[in-house]
A and B are shown apart, each in its own frame.
Chain A
Amino acid sequence: MTRTFDLEVNGVAYPLTIDPGRSLLSVLRGEIGLTGTKEGCDDCECGACMVLIDGQPVNSCSLLAAQAEGRSVTTIEGIIDGDRLSEIQAGLLDEGGVQCGFCTPGMIISATALFARNPDPTPDEIRVGLSGNLCRCTGYGRIIEALAVDGVGRADRPAESGS
């Protein structure tokens, strides 16, 4: 039996008719076409599929899309503000906190939730906040350094400046 409902993603209500056994990750990528959310392990281990649900980071591989009905989902595509990168996005680019980039959307989701709760985290608090995100390039040092730089999470700048 399919289920028909609206899923709110990045402030937009997407009408869906889907098998309710499908994960949120599968629906975000396969139905809605928002492919910034990555499928890494599909085993709730790596954090590449992380999204915000009502502001809290959640692995979208481990939740059914139907369970997100009536919730507010934010993906990496919803983190950018118009043509301006978020402070966290710009900071990662400027400080070399991106290598292959596959883990980056999930890292940014985790960091966004962390900075919302704690605007001035210590490096240890950053490590805990990102502890559900694996980087197979093992670029953790630069990611944590980038997020620990003064100003990240507090200043914003145009999208062009980071590329």
Chain B
Amino acid sequence: MTEFEIASSLEEALALVAEGYRPIAGGTDLVVAARTGRAPLPGRLVSIERLDELSGIEPTTEGLLIGAVVTHARLMRTQSVIDDFTALADASALVGSPSTRNVGTIGGNVMNASPAMDTGAPLVVLNAEIVLRSTRGERRVAAADFWAGPGRTVAEPDELCVALAIPNQPDGSASAYVRLEYRRAMEIAVVGAAARVDLDGRGRIIGASVALTAVAPTIVAVDGATEVLAGRSLDPATLTDIADAASRKATPISDLRASDTYRRHCVGVMARRAVEAAFGRATGDPIAVPVNRSTGIGAAR
């Protein structure tokens, strides 16, 4: 039988996690995995979703600090996320359905470490850090270094994800996340891509980052996106080059959702479209969140 505590403070939660309690918030991964027999419910659980300390979306001098139990529904409706960290809003709006977005949290999505997680590629291209805390102290890990494999992270067992720290993006920068999907809700990305494009004052690309969803054991960044894109216009040759760079980075599996060959090809298409959407946003094109719905690219009809 499960031991269950509702934490009334972060300190209490950290002490329980140090004792071996596992945190639970929305339950959309943990409880469902237990109900369907994929993984038993942990024997000791501490409920953290009510903690004010983990519920904030706070602008800081460095950027935005998003509490671990902020839900996808809240993220997709938060204006500062939509305006400045748009790829994360795109991804949050695609997770599950209205009812799962109401309880599913960004911290849960990060710690569940699915290679198909929608919020991971946006966090990588936005240079986010995962803020971990334990009774021993706090540390931050770059999103790009955080996932170790399917369901695995570099967090120690006594560390709780308390927040995501996303740095302010440079002027002239914009981002987008696009996924390939077979249906419009309760979908898991077949493949996906996030892109960030930085423009100088004359509208030329001076920096870029592209990260990929569901084509490797973890979210992966495309090598040399800036080198591929900097100084070039987004003509067909440029877009083919970024698509090829994405496909080369992909090491996908075949499963019932798609073959490895199809995934490797389509992740290039998603990368190209994410770059186009991010570039469009950086040049003032009002592409609404999420890109999948407002433009239909990557989307089921």
A56 contacts the other chain (CB 8 A)? yes
Instruction: Provide the bound-state CA to CA distance between A69 and B34, in Å.
Output: 21
Interface size class of A (residues with CB under 8 A): 20 to 34
Also in contact, A42 and B35, with CB within 8 A (given A21-B4, A64-B4): yes
A13 contacts the other chain (CB 8 A)? no
B141 contacts the other chain (CB 8 A)? no
A88 to chain B, nearest CB (A): 16
Most chain B Cβ neighbours within 10 Å, of A2, A64, A66, A133: A64
**CB <8 Å contact, B27 and A43:** no
* Stretch of B58-66, B82-90, B92-100, B264-272 at the chain-chain interface: B92-100
Q: Please report which residues of chain A, range 120-146, place their CB below 8 angstroms from some CB of chain B when the two chains form the complex.
A: 128-129, 131-134
User: Given A20, A42, A44, A58, which contacts B4 in the complex, CB threshold below 8 Å?
Assistant: A20
A72 contacts the other chain (CB 8 A)? no
A57 contacts the other chain (CB 8 A)? yes
Also in contact, A66 and B4, with CB within 8 A (given A43-B35, A129-B98, A132-B97): yes
* Stretch of B41-49, B160-168, B235-243 at the chain-chain interface: B41-49
Query: Which A residues are in CB contact (< 8 Å) with B100?
Result: 44, 59, 62, 132
A9 contacts the other chain (CB 8 A)? no
**CB <8 Å contact, A128 and B31:** no
**CB <8 Å contact, A63 and B1:** no
Instruction: Provide the bound-state CA to CA distance between A45 and B35, in Å.
Output: 13
Instruction: Provide the bound-state CA to CA distance between A61 and B185, in Å.
Output: 18
A77 to chain B, nearest CB (A): 18
Most chain A Cβ neighbours within 10 Å, of B4, B73, B96: B4
Q: Please report which residues of chain B, range 102-117, place their CB below 8 angstroms from some CB of chain A when the two chains form the complex.
A: 102-103
Also in contact, A43 and B36, with CB within 8 A (given A20-B45, A64-B31, A132-B185): yes
B39 contacts the other chain (CB 8 A)? no
**What 1/0 mask marks residues of chain B from 18 to 52 whose CB sits below 8 Å from any chain A CB?**
00000010111001101110000100010101000
Instruction: Provide the bound-state CA to CA distance between A3 and B6, in Å.
Output: 11
User: Given A21, A23, A44, A128, which contacts B1 in the complex, CB threshold below 8 Å?
Assistant: A21
Instruction: Provide the bound-state CA to CA distance between A62 and B32, in Å.
Output: 5
Instruction: Provide the bound-state CA to CA distance between A64 and B73, in Å.
Output: 20
B154 contacts the other chain (CB 8 A)? no
**CB <8 Å contact, B98 and A57:** yes
**CB <8 Å contact, B97 and A47:** yes
Residue of A nearest to B42 (CB): A21
Also in contact, A132 and B99, with CB within 8 A (given A44-B32, A61-B31, A62-B27): yes
User: Given A19, A67, A128, which contacts B98 in the complex, CB threshold below 8 Å?
Assistant: A128
- Given A62-B26, A62-B27, 15 other A-B residues pairs in contact with their CB atoms under 8 A: A1-B1, A2-B1, A20-B2, A20-B3, A43-B32, A44-B32, A50-B99, A57-B98, A61-B31, A62-B32, A62-B100, A63-B27, A66-B6, A67-B47, A131-B185
